[in-house]
Structure 1
Amino acid sequence: MAKHSEQIVARDADYDNSAAVPDAERFIPLWEDEARVFRDSMGDRARLGIPYGATAREKLDLFLPDGAPDGLMVFVHGGYWRSRHRHDWSHFAEGALGRGYAVAIPSYSLAPEARISRITLQIAQAVRVAAAEVAGGPIRLAGHSAGGHLVARMLCADPMLPASVAKRLAHVLPISPVSDLRPLVGLSMNGDLKLTAEEAAMESPILCEVVHRAPVTVWVGGAELPAFQNQAQWLSEAWDARIVVDEGRHHFDVIDGLRAPDSPMLKALFDA
Structure 2
Amino acid sequence: MRCATGWGSDMRIADWDDAYANRDHIHGAAQYIDRWPVAARAFRDGLASAGRARLDHAYGPAPRQRLDLFAPDGAARGLVVFVHGGYWMAFDKSVWSGFAAGAVAAGWAVAVPSYTLAPAARIAEMTREIAAAVAEAARLVPGPVRAAGHSAGGHLVARLTCADSTLAPAVRDRLAHVVPISGLHDLRPLLRTAMNATLGLDPVAAAAESPALLTPREGVRVTTWVGGDERPEFLRQSALLANVWTGLGADMASVVDPGTHHFSVIDGLGSADSALTRCLLG
- TM-score range relative to shorter protein: over 0.9
2:44 to 15, 39, 42: 39
- Partner amino acid for 1:28? I
Partner Cα distance (1:9, 1:178) in 2 = 19
User: Whole-Å Cα distance in 2 between the matches of residues 45 and 270 of structure 1?
Assistant: 20
2:170 paired residue among 156, 160, 164: 164
Deviation at 1:55, TM superposition (A): 1.0
TM-score when scaled to structure 2? 0.92
Cα distance in 2, alignment partners of residues 255 and 2 from structure 1 = 25
- Find out whether 1:224 has 2:235 as its counterpart: no
CA RMSD of aligned residues (A): 1.5
In the alignment, is residue 18 of structure 1 matched against residue 29 of structure 2? no
Q: Distance in 2 between matches of 1:47 and 1:173?
A: 24
* Percent of residue pairs identical: 50
- Of 93, 102, 111, the match for 1:86: 93
Q: What is the Cα deviation at residue 268 of structure 1?
A: 1.3
Do the aligned residues in 1 keep the contact of 2:128 with 2:166 (CA within 8 Å)?
no
Task: Flag structure 1 segments of 5+ consecutive residues without an equivalent.
Answer: none
Per chain length, whose mean CA-contact separation is higher, i.e. which structure has more relative contact order (CA < 8 Å, sep 6+)? 1
Q: Displacement of 1:62 after TM fit?
A: 0.2
Contact residue 13 and residue 19 of structure 2 kept, 8 A: no
Tell me by how many angstroms 1:169 deviates. 1.0
The equivalent of 2:260 in structure 1 is 249
Of the candidates 198, 215, 221, which is equivalent to residue 215 of structure 1?
A: 221
CA contact (8 A) 1:8 1:183 kept: no
* C-alpha deviation, 1:270, in angstroms: 1.7
What per-residue deviation string (whole Å, max 9, x for no partner) do you get for residues 176-217 of structure 1?
Answer: 000100000010000100100000000000111222431111
Structure 2 match to 1:199: 205
Q: Is the 8 A contact 2:179 2:222 kept in 1?
A: yes
- Give 3-state SS (helix, strand or coil) of 1:143's partner: strand
Verify the 8 A CA contact 1:10 1:184 in the aligned structure 2.
no
Are the counterparts in 2 of residues 149 and 205 from structure 1 also a CA contact under 8 Å? yes
Structure 1 range deviating more: 17-26 or 147-156: 17-26
Equivalences for residues 145-156 of structure 1 within 5 A: 145-156=151-162
Residue matched to 2:276: 265
Aligned partner of 1:187 in structure 2 is: 193
Match of 2:74 in 1: 67
Runs of 4+ with >3 A deviation: 7-10
Report the more deviating stretch, 186-195 or 150-159: 150-159
Q: SS of the residue aligned with 1:216?
A: strand
Give the C-alpha shift of residue 137 in structure 1: 1.1
Segment of structure 1 superposing worse, 8-17 or 103-112:
8-17
**Equivalences for residues 85-124 of structure 1 within 5 A:** 85-124=92-131
Paired residues in the alignment total 267
Aligned-partner Cα distance in 2 for 1:212–1:107: 27
C-alpha distance in 2 between matches for 1:115 and 1:73 = 25
Structure whose CA Rg is larger? 2
SS in structure 2 of the partner of residue 210 of structure 1? coil
Amino acid at match of 2:109: A
Question: What 5-or-longer segments of structure 2 have no aligned partner?
Answer: 1-5, 247-251
Secondary structure of 2:272's aligned partner? coil
- In the superposition, relative to structure 1, how do residues 198 and 18 fare at CA in structure 2: closer, same or farther (>3 Å)? same
Separation (CA, whole Å) in 2 of partners of 1:120 and 1:149:
9
Task: Provide, for residues 137-169 of structure 1, a one-character-per-residue CA deviation record: whole Å limited to 9, x for no partner.
Answer: 110000000000000000112223212101111
